[in-house]
Structure 1
């Protein structure tokens, strides 16, 4: 199945949850925090401003991003978990 976000929405594949601490201790599944980092899988065409002009999004497919802890809606596609969120919920693009 393919999913094409509408407007200023973005489909993100969250990074896996951290299972170990920096010192090597395992974290129980109940204590693992929801990841705030992921990869952009699909983007919408962008918002339409008051003049009817389309405003392009700041993110592109393949970008690694940081997003808000409570941003987006959890969805499942072909057995995999994704987040569908507004572009405004994305705080930064990670570059290395």
Structure 2
């Protein structure tokens, strides 16, 4: 997944998330089971994980201080079932979420 990030980052230079927004490339659903059985299109479901491609600078608090983002480009995250804004860039689909909508950050071993 990390090897695809540089190619994606060059395409995404035109999309700049603002405030506490995060641009995410969702993972593709599996087309085969672990046993090698090909899964039909209607059983794949939504993918609830993805890779952070770009982040905004962060939200400002009541005193004007910027709150730093807790995710950065390249992080692998868990997403909610619904939400996010679809963004099509050169035929590839990305999603824009608020940072607070991201459920968890995953650490791959």
1:50 aligns with 2:62: yes
RMSD in angstroms over aligned alpha carbons? 1.3
- Name the CA distance, whole Å, in 2 between partners of 1:77 and 1:30: 25
Shift of 1:49: 0.9
- Number of residue equivalences: 96
Q: Any gaps of 5 or more consecutive residues in structure 2?
A: 1-11
Matches within 5 A, 1:1-96: 2-95=14-107, 96=109
| TM superposition shift of 1:30 | 2.1
Q: Distance in 1 between matches of 2:33 and 2:85?
A: 27
TM-score, length basis structure 2: 0.80
Q: Which has the higher strand share?
A: 1
Secondary structure at the residue paired with 1:21? coil
- Structure with the largest fraction of helix: 2
- TM-score normalised by L of structure 1: 0.90
How far off its partner does 1:20 sit? Answer: 1.9
Deviation (angstroms), 1:29: 1.4
